[in-house]
């Protein structure tokens, strides 16, 4: 079903290639504003969906748009050496483990009910803050390495912790 929240989500998904292009062409301030607008659109479409009712399409597209944007930004920022390669690999690997685990469980006939964990929500928030901060500082030509170092460490710890928590939940309940 096509409704306003789904249109907003689709627009966010379509913004991913533009965000990547902007970063690759070192247009960091426009990339920051696009990333911020995408974040705002996620909040708006979520609020609208809760008011108007969710759809199966929206339930599938919303996390896809979120992951596409974050993973694309991590890979692209690592590509231009604005973030460490190992961190981008860690972020992508965590998501692949979770998606792969869900697909494996579904393929073997096990029911899958994924509930977002607090550590996962914290991880997503930290990932967003790191990307936004990296884009903004680069866009303003400011270097604030101590802040970025702390954020990189926090994202690394939360990425590992949230991935491990999901794996532990599956192992514990099987």
User: How far apart are the two ends of the chain, measured CA to CA in Å?
Assistant: 35
What is the per-residue pLDDT across 39-67, written as a single tens digit (0 to 9) for each?
A: 999 889 889 888 888 888 888 888 899 99
Residue 136 is predicted with a pLDDT of 97
Instruction: Write the DSSP assignment of the chain as a string of letters.
Output: ---HHHHHHHHHHHHHHHHHHHHHTT-HHHHHHHHHHHHHHHHHHHHHHHHH---HHHHHHHHHHHHHHHHHHHHHHHHTTSS-HHHHHHHHHHHHHHHHHHHHHHHTT--------HHHHHHHHHHHHHHHHHHHHHHTT---HHHHHHHHHHHHHHHHHHHHHHHHHHHHH-
pTM given for the model = 0.91
Superfamily (CATH) of domain 4-173: CDP-alcohol phosphotransferase transmembrane (TM) domain (1.20.120.1760)
What is the per-residue pLDDT across 112-164, written as a single tens digit (0 to 9) for each?
A: 777 788 999 999 999 999 999 999 999 999 988 899 999 999 999 999 999 99
Gap between the Cα atoms of 25 and 135, Å rounded: 12
Q: Using 50, 70 and 90 to split pLDDT, how confident is the model at 35?
A: very high
Gap between the Cα atoms of 41 and 36, Å rounded: 9
Place of tokens 């390669």: 85
Burial of 13 per CB tally in 10 Å (0-12, 13-18, 19+): middle
């Amino acid at each position: 079903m096509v409704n306003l929240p789904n249109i907003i989500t689709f627009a966010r998904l379509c913004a991913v290639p533009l965000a990547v292009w902007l970063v690759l062409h070192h247009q960091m301030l426009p990339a920051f504003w696009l990333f911020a607008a995408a974040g705002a659109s996620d909040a708006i479409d979520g609020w609208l969906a809760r008011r108007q009712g969710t759809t199966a399409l929206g339930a599938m597209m919303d996390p896809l748009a979120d992951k596409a944007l974050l993973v694309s930004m991590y890979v692209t920022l690592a590509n231009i050496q604005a973030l460490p390669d190992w961190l981008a690999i860690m972020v992508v690997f965590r998501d692949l483990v979770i998606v792969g685990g869900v697909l494996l469980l579904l393929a073997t006939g096990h029911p899958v009910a994924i509930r977002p964990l607090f550590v996962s929500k914290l991880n997503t928030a930290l990932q967003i803050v790191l990307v936004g901060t990296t884009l903004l500082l680069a866009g303003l030509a400011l270097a604030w390495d101590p802040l970025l170092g702390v954020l990189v460490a926090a994202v690394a710890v939360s990425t590992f912790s949230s991935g491990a928590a999901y794996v532990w939940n599956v192992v514990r309940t099987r």
